[in-house]
Amino acid sequence: MTQRNGQERTRLSRALAGAATGLLIVALSACSTGDDAGEPTAAARGGSLDVAVSQTCTENSESQCTLVNGEYVLVIPSDFTRAGVDSAAVASNNQSDLVDVRFDADGAAVLQSASAAVASAGSDARLVLRADNQVFAALTVPEALEGDEVQIAPSSTVSAEQLVELIGSN
């Protein structure tokens, strides 16, 4: 991995770690995650994640205002777009379990477009992720994601293994 890619990964990791309660999504370049990612312990081929651009809301302000990881966001089913996944695998590192997700070409384009929209929409915008009709993340995205791979650190309500299963069954 180049030094530039490592710096981008570190910068985005820090920014998102502070922005997302209970869940972290880290953009990676299209290259391998390297030795620090650990050995995969559970894996799925194929599947998908549903991605939506949304915004925060006030509790009980609308029927579709939903609590996600301690924050209320609008979850409108018709706003989700399917992002195809080539593979998802649990990779343990020395801090926590992560899910390595590699998107197919169309899925990467969906994620990149949605993350760019959230990054440019302001502080109330959120990138909402859903798998198997279960919303598991509403993320602040400080800058558009690039590449076709991300790492997701699941919240306390979904384990890494469960998230891999959800992605594979979606």
**Residue linked to tokens 């558009």:** 144
Sequence-ordered alpha helix ranges (H) in the chain: 3-19, 105-121, 160-169
In this prediction, residue 52 carries a pLDDT of: 97
Annotation: CATH topology of 3-169: Gyrase A; domain 2 (3.30.1360)
In this prediction, residue 44 carries a pLDDT of: 67
Q: Would you call 130 helix, strand, or coil by DSSP?
A: strand
Stated as kind and residue range, the H or E segment containing 150 is strand 149-153
**What is the value of pTM for the model shown?**
0.75
In this prediction, residue 46 carries a pLDDT of: 85
Stated as kind and residue range, the H or E segment containing 136 is strand 134-139
Among left, alpha and beta (phi > 0; psi -120 to 50; other), residue 129 is beta
In this prediction, residue 157 carries a pLDDT of: 79
Of 126, 144, 104, 108, give the one whose Cα is nearest residue 57: 126
Contact between residue 161 and residue 100 where contact means Cβ atoms under 8 Å apart: no
In this prediction, residue 92 carries a pLDDT of: 67
Of 82, 15, 43, give the one whose Cα is nearest residue 160: 43
In this prediction, residue 154 carries a pLDDT of: 79
Average pLDDT for runs of 10 along the chain of length 170: 40 35 40 41 81 96 92 96 95 74 97 97 95 90 94 82 90
Contact between residue 114 and residue 143 where contact means Cβ atoms under 8 Å apart: no
In this prediction, residue 153 carries a pLDDT of: 77
